[in-house]
Amino acid sequence: MGLVIESEAWEPNQLLYLFILIISCFLSISCLPRRQTNSNNRAPTLFDQSLPSSSSSFLRFQRRFLLLYSLSSVMEGLWSVFGEYDLAYYGVNKEKMVLSLCVGYAAALFIGTFLGILSDLIGHKKVCLMYCILHLFVGMWKRFFAHPSVWLASICLSLASSIFSFSFETWMVVEHDKLGHRQDTLNDTFWLMTFTESVSFVGSQMMANWLVHRGMETSVISPSTAAVLLAILSIFFVTRVSKEVPQASAFKDYGRDFTAYIFGDKRVWILAWAQASVQFSIAVFWILWAPTIVADGREVKLGLIYPCLLGGRMLGSTAFPWFFTGPLSLRTEDCLVYVFMVMGIVLSILAYDYQEIGLLVTLFCLFHACVGLILPSLARLRTMYVPDKLRGGMISLSLAPANAAILFFLLQRGYYQNIENSTILAFAALGLFSGAGCLHLLKLWDGGLIVFKSIIRGFADRYLELEPVSDVNPQRHEMVPCGWNRTFS
């Protein structure tokens, strides 16, 4: 008589959702304003109801932007969750999946790198509208054609992802300054962007699973139809916001300013490398997390782990105001050095050896909690060092090294089978450690610059009898998807 071994797929405890998504995140948000009630000049938050007219004006601006950003995040998350299932549904094999990824990252490298410069020149509102149009085009293409082109869809969605990574943030910062809102309120908007993006990704997963469960062929409402409707709604909201005044400077003037303030500032180079290392590690994680967790034939319900990861990211974003504007109040560079090192250690553990599923999920959640803290922190540093009119170009150019590295490793692993998944994770960990070193260097650079300025000013005041001159704003520049387990398993 044969022995039958029953295997049960691993899934996280339901109390984990309650702890991460409800208790930790919302308790952190609700308690922070109470810690700041002793300050009469505290910045308004999204949850304040009775505020002066100026604060109310800012909250209206913030809520409108977050609504538009949430819709855009749902569109972005819908394709990242639905993408692999969609390829498998149309019979795309492993080689074509790798090819679609390579084509997408090649488009992001050779075209998306320059979209930030285009955004700075023609206006960020127009580029955000382009983002919605790309999603509308892909949704209609997949809806009305039985066998859509994998290449075309991959190129369009990759370009849309590139726009999503810089244009909405830059547009918000430019509009924020144009309306004359306080600079300290930007910090709240940065972490709320990360928080609402994570919430929207969870919602997009629920939407995609529900639509797929209803049947892609028999149901009138499919993920493609939902993407079309969301794109139309987003286009409506983008066109309804205030009119944007495009840059008055010509391309020649923009190039001169870009050379002086981006290429000529070593601090911006350091910040760009830190941004590239984070983006590379995030992309590597989303490609390899599923093959890592199902190694050795283990059965895991990946769809139930995905919300835990995003819940960790939500929790990390809510920690941002505690560290930088709340009672703990740390310097951004000091905090980020340690957070980068923690992320590097996590990826090093994953690259070293496969672990138990419970430990892997814990490490995954810790990694995403660090991501939730890093993203608004880097946005804050960009506000300190990068002029608004050059912000989009700086962000898009900083993503070029990450896209080039991902494309290289995709070719080496997917086509030539020259390296292992653990090697890619190890390189991502090294990138994060180098990012920590860059931020430490940035801290030392700024500290030495401040000391040098104070020495020169003291010498001038004592021996040259000059009037002491107060600093300009020292905090701002002078220019006032689920994993591709079929591919990498």
pLDDT at 402: 96
| Largest CA-CA distance found in the chain, in angstroms, rounded | 101
**C-alpha separations of 227 from 74, 127, 136 in Å:** 9, 18, 7
Give the residue among 338, 351, 341, 335 at the shortest CA–CA distance from 284: 351
**C-alpha separations of 308 from 122, 305, 312, 334, 461 in Å:** 39, 5, 6, 28, 58
Give the tokens for residue 362. 């814990």
Which residue type, as a one-letter code, is found at position 238?
V
Contact 409, 422 (CB under 8 A): no
Contact 171, 124 (CB under 8 A): yes
pLDDT at 468: 45
pLDDT at 472: 38
User: pTM, whole model, 2 decimals?
Assistant: 0.85
Contact 302, 290 (CB under 8 A): yes
Rg of the chain over Cα atoms, rounded to whole angstroms, equals 23
Hey, how many other C-beta atoms are within 10 angstroms of the C-beta on 475? 12
Give the separation between CA 322 and CA 318, rounded to whole angstroms.
8
Give the separation between CA 356 and CA 103, rounded to whole angstroms.
34
> From first to last of its 489 residues, what are the pLDDT tens digits of the chain?
344 444 567 888 777 777 777 777 777 777 765 444 444 455 555 555 444 445 777 888 888 999 999 999 999 988 877 766 677 666 677 778 888 889 999 999 999 999 999 999 998 999 999 999 999 998 888 877 755 577 888 899 999 999 999 999 999 999 888 887 777 788 889 999 999 999 999 988 888 888 777 655 555 567 788 889 999 999 999 988 766 665 555 788 888 999 999 998 889 999 999 999 999 999 999 999 988 888 777 788 888 899 999 999 999 998 888 887 656 667 888 889 999 999 999 999 998 876 788 889 999 999 999 999 999 999 999 999 999 989 999 999 999 999 999 999 999 988 788 888 899 999 999 999 999 999 999 888 765 554 445 545 554 455 444 444 444 343 443 333 444 444 454
- Taking 3-state DSSP, the helix, strand and coil percentages for the chain, each rounded to the nearest 5, stand at 75, 0, 25
HSE of 57, CA atoms in CB hemisphere, 13 A: 9
Task: Write the DSSP assignment of 413-435 as a string of letters.
Answer: IIIS--S-HHHHHHHHHHHHHHH
